[in-house]
DNA sequence: TATAAAGTCTATAAATATTATAGGGTAATT
DNA sequence: AATTACCCTATAATATTTATAGACTTTATA
């Protein structure tokens, strides 16, 4: 399951996407709209900024804004950023690979093979769907 | 990511699958083989038994054994049993549905639509692959 | 240039979920 | 009858997630 952090990130991105006409949007406005703790959301927006998805402006009249075209923000990117691996096992993660501690041999592991398939099916959707696809529906 | 509980369940099932020639297998043997805490494994095997996947025999000479044909044990079943929902959002879970608290309308939620796709792609693999597919590889 | 508005940063607390342990009880086999 | 091994409930330890606090920096504008 996606963490709240990731869900909040999607909410925030959706909100920012809907308000692209405005130069900036306040954290406060987003946190009110979705009932998210202001400070918690702050951290999330910062991460999105560091990842190059959002820009920000300090001071009065400041706030956050989308720096990328919604169609260039793959859902997989957001999930990996806030939640970490998409794969169901560390040994099949593309971005967060780790060997399974209790596993003797990946080559002989039947689960490994299947989970690679699952990962690829998931990524097939999550890499190709973007923020733009989410905005469309709303 | 799959929990240790689920991974242990797969290990145990694999072990039992490999030793179908024997009438029963001791918890102890499985826990030794994979370095799993005996008591923790006990709980997992019990759940698998309650789900009708394993059978057990008490007393001397007792132990656990596979009650089903490996090809009839879908991976999805094991994951749902030990880990809960496979879907990435509660609002798209087939077996553990819950509305998202912060979501105003599922019909208008763009994430919802995409996550249904992701779920279906995952299930396409996990429902159709079984314990037998894992055993094959080992 | 003072002030208020707004993001930045680091640390920590609270809550929750996961993993593991303990120990007694019960059933079945020899 | 004794041993063996499953069954069950409760609780402790650990890790992760979620949330909060507060001081600091930057910026607009009155």
pLDDT attached to residue B48: 95
CA to C1' distance (Å), from B14 to C27: 27
CB contact under 8 A, A2 and B87: no
Average pLDDT value for residue range B119-123: 98
Tens of pLDDT, residues A14-62: 999 999 999 999 999 999 999 999 999 999 999 999 999 999 999 888 9
**Three-state DSSP class for residue B60:** coil
Does one domain contain both A75 and A53?
Answer: no
Domain, as residue range, for A12: 4-66
Does one domain contain both B85 and B103?
Answer: yes
Q: Which nucleotide is nearest to A40 (CA to C1')?
A: D19
pLDDT attached to residue A98: 92
Does one domain contain both A114 and A87?
Answer: yes
In angstroms, the CA A37 to CA A25 distance is 16
DSSP A41: H
- Give yes or no for a contact between B5 and B82, defined as CB atoms under 8 angstroms apart: yes
Does one domain contain both B59 and B78?
Answer: no
pLDDT attached to residue A138: 66
Tens of pLDDT, residues A51-74: 999 999 998 889 999 999 999 999
Residue for token pair 């009650």: B67
Does one domain contain both B75 and B61?
Answer: no
Q: Which helix (H) or strand (E) holds B56?
A: strand B54-57
Q: Which nucleotide is nearest to A55 (CA to C1')?
A: C7
Average pLDDT value for residue range B117-137: 95
Does one domain contain both B108 and B59?
Answer: no
In terms of CA atoms, which chain A residue is nearest residue B87?
A: A1
Other CB atoms within a 10 A radius of the CB of residue A78 amount to 23
Reading the block at residue A47, the tokens are 């991460």
How near does any CA of chain B get to the CA of A89, in Å?
Answer: 6
pLDDT attached to residue B76: 97
The residue ranges of DSSP E strands in chain A, in sequence order, are 54-57, 63-66
Share of chain B above pLDDT 70, in %: 99
Residue B23 maps to which CATH number?
1.10.10.10
Picking from B19, B34, B66, the residue at the C-terminal end of a domain is: B66
CB contact under 8 A, A111 and B10: yes
Average pLDDT value for residue range A70-93: 97
Residue for token pair 């596993």: A103
DSSP track, A62-107: -EEEE-S-GGG-BHHHHHHHHH---SSSGGG-SSS----TT-S-GG
Best to test chain B binding among A121, A124, A136 (most B CBs inside 10 Å): A121
Average pLDDT value for residue range A63-92: 97
Does one domain contain both B89 and B131?
Answer: yes
Does one domain contain both B62 and B74?
Answer: no
- pLDDT category at B138 given cuts 50, 70, 90 is low
Asked if residue B104 keeps its beta carbon closer than 7 A to nucleic acid strand C, the reply is: no
Q: Which nucleotide is nearest to A59 (CA to C1')?
A: D27
Does one domain contain both A81 and A48?
Answer: no
Picking from B66, B82, B97, the residue at the C-terminal end of a domain is: B66
Tens of pLDDT, residues B35-47: 999 999 999 999 9
Closest CA to B100 of A80, A2, A137, A134: A2
Domain count, chain B: 2
Does one domain contain both B59 and B83?
Answer: no
């Amino acid at each position: 399951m996606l963490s709240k952090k990731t869900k909040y990130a999607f909410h925030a991105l959706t909100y920012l996407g809907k308000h692209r006409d405005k130069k900036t949007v306040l954290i406060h406005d987003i946190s009110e709209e979705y009932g998210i703790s202001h400070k918690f959301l702050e951290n999330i927006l910062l991460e999105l900024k560091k990842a190059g998805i959002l820009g920000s402006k300090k001071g009065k009249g400041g706030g956050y804004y989308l720096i990328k075209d919604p169609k260039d923000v793959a859902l997989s990117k957001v999930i990996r950023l806030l939640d970490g691996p998409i794969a169901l096992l560390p040994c099949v993660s593309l971005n967060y690979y780790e060997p399974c501690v209790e596993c003797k041999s990946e080559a002989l592991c039947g689960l490994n093979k299947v989970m690679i398939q699952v990962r690829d099916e998931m990524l097939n959707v999550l890499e190709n769907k973007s923020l733009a696809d989410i905005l469309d529906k709303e």
